[in-house]
């Protein structure tokens, strides 16, 4: 394929990141088809037109079904609120398009199942926007683990904190609606799960806890009840005997984009924090004890794919670069090349673990992470329907 046609649905926070990724991927990697930005969709015509102009798309529409039906579109980027992921992804796959869908897969487990089924039936590539697995630091950590640098992993902890909803008077948005899912679990905990799935494999059992710090938020002239949970904790048991913990909060004042990973092994430890994501700290329990301590390794051209962005060490990558790497991995996968991606089947395992955590939070017991096929009433799980 010499040219690939892209359609983008949604142009908010993540939509712009996808647009930048599609704009930059060929310039950065050089080995991709020419990316043709064919069509862009927003809820409203004039906004769609303006964004198409800014992002360099050939056409715009307010009808996502028209975008999905466009014969010049080969791959659809879906960056709309969570509740839209399933209908848009399934329609795109049914129309024979490849799909790059933002996380989470879908708030309803049955919808996530339908998305995975549609991808299998279509035989097209369908991946999720788990950008953090794409960083050179995570690849370096994976390499360290694989070569046994810290021995067998005994325990890990991942915390993901931001403060964009820390203010009790932060306005109500779709992210506080039940239709968006459980809250911090769908918004944040899926990211640590993507790292766990990439570095260690999925947990066997989980124990969850969810909290709602503020009962309502400003909405128009009044206040509207918050429908999901801004804080969550998951304990994890891994099949090999290791244990882990995920703690996430959208209400953690001062934390802007913290995604801190601590991995402890029999012979050492590894630390990483997305707020300083060009650095990996490694502690090796070897040699004279007096010299023990964390050593910080700065990511540079020897940590792929940093070198594709800039040849000079010390100049650092940023968040949007992860999206460019993700677009490249997607294009690799479409071309049948090796690729690091979380496809809809792997994403489904993450969704099961998230639903299992929510179920555990409601029932106060350990729950098998896979499969979590029933809701609290023992019926096929179809939506985020847990209240504490």
Ligand X SMILES: NC(=O)c1ccc[n+]([C@@H]2O[C@H](COP(=O)([O-])OP(=O)(O)OC[C@H]3O[C@@H](n4cnc5c(N)ncnc54)[C@H](O)[C@@H]3O)[C@@H](O)[C@H]2O)c1
Angle at 368 between CA 387 and CA 364, to 5 degrees: 40
Per CB under 6 A, 274 contacts ligand X: no
Distance CA 173, CA 74 (A): 32
Q: Which is nearer to ligand X, 299 or 342 (CB)?
A: 342
Candidates 41-49, 192-200, 247-255, 302-310; binding stretch for ligand X (CB under 6 A): 41-49
The total number of residues shown for the chain amounts to 388
Positions 178 through 217 that interact with ligand X (CB under 6 A): 187
Contact pick of 29, 84, 182, 264 for ligand X (by CB under 6 A) = 84
Does 19 interact with ligand X (rule: CB under 6 A)?
A: no
| Residue 176 interacting with ligand X (CB under 6 A) | no
Shortest Å distance, C-beta 43 to ligand X: 4
CB of 9 to ligand X, least distance (A): 5
Contacts 24+ apart (CB under 8 A), 255-260: 255/161, 255/162, 255/163, 256/162, 256/163, 257/162, 257/319, 258/159, 258/160, 258/161, 258/162, 259/132, 259/158, 259/159, 259/160, 259/191, 259/192, 260/157, 260/158, 260/159, 260/160
The binder of ligand X chosen from 82, 197, 198, 233 (CB under 6 A): 82
| Rg (alpha carbons) of the chain, rounded to whole number | 21
Q: Which of residues 101-140 bind ligand X (CB under 6 A)?
A: 102-103, 129, 131
156 binds ligand X (CB under 6 A): no
Q: Are 19 and 9 in contact (CB under 8 A)?
A: no
Interface with ligand X includes 80 (CB under 6 A)? yes
Q: Is 177 in the site for ligand X (CB under 6 A)?
A: no
Q: Is 64 in the site for ligand X (CB under 6 A)?
A: yes
**Cβ of 363: how many Cβ atoms within 10 Å?**
12
Task: Work out whether 70 is an interface residue with ligand X (CB under 6 A).
Answer: no
Extended strands (E) in the chain: 3-9, 34-41, 59-61, 75-78, 98-101, 126-128, 153-161, 205-211, 216-219, 222-225, 231-237, 243-249, 258-265, 268-273, 279-284, 295-298, 367-368
Q: Which of 1, 12, 53, 286 binds ligand X (CB under 6 A)?
A: 12
Number of residues near ligand X (by CB under 6 A): 21
10 binds ligand X (CB under 6 A): yes
Nearer to ligand X, 129 or 265 (CB): 129
Closest-by-Cβ residue to ligand X is 12
Tokens 């307010």: give the residue.
62
- Cα 303 to Cα 213: distance, rounded to the nearest angstrom: 40
Instruction: Tell me which residues in 300-359 interact with ligand X (CB under 6 A).
Output: none
Q: Is residue 42 a contact point for ligand X (CB under 6 A)? A: yes
Closer Cβ to ligand X, 236 or 342, answer by number: 342
Q: Which residues bind ligand X (CB under 6 A)?
A: 9-15, 41-43, 64, 79-82, 84, 102-103, 129, 131, 187
């Amino acid at each position: 394929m010499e040219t690939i046609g892209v359609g983008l649905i949604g142009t908010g926070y993540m939509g712009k990141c996808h647009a930048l990724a599609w704009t930059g991927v060929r310039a950065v990697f050089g080995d991709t088809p020419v990316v043709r930005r064919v069509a862009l969709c927003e809820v409203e015509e004039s906004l769609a037109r303006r964004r198409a102009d800014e992002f360099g798309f050939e056409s715009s529409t307010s009808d996502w079904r028209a975008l999905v039906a466009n014969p010049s579109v080969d791959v659809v980027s879906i960056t709309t609120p969570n509740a839209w992921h399933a209908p848009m992804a399934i329609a795109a796959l049914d129309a024979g398009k490849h799909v790059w869908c933002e996380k989470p897969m879908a708030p309803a487990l049955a919808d996530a199942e339908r998305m995975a089924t549609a991808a299998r039936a279509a035989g097209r590539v369908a991946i999720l926007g788990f950008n953090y697995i794409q960083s050179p630091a995570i690849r370096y950590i994976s390499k360290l683990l694989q070569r046994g640098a810290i021995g067998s992993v005994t325990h890990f902890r991942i915390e993901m904190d931001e403060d964009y909803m820390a203010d009790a008077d932060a306005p109500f948005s779709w992210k506080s609606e039940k239709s968006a899912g459980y809250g911090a679990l769908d918004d944040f905990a899926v990211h640590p799960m993507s790292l766990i799935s990439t570095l260690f494999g999925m947990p066997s059992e989980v124990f969850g806890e969810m909290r709602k710090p503020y009962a309502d938020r400003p909405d128009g002239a009044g206040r509207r009840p918050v429908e999901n949970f801004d804080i969550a904790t998951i304990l994890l048991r891994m099949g090999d005997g290791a244990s882990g913990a995920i703690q996430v909060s959208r209400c953690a004042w001062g934390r802007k984009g913290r995604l801190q990973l601590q991995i402890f092994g029999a012979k050492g430890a590894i630390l990483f924090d997305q707020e300083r994501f060009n650095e990996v700290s490694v502690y090796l329990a070897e040699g004279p004890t007096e010299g023990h301590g964390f050593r910080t390794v700065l990511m540079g051209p020897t940590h792929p794919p940093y070198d594709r962005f800039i040849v000079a060490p010390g100049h650092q990558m940023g968040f949007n670069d992860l999206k460019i790497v993700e677009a490249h991995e997607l294009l690799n996968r479409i071309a049948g090349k090796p690729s690091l991606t979380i496809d809809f089947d792997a994403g489904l395992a993450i969704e099961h673990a998230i639903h299992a955590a929510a179920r555990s939070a409601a029932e106060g017991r350990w729950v098998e992470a896979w499969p979590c096929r029933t809701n609290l009433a023992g019926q096929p799980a179809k939506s985020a329907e847990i209240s504490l």
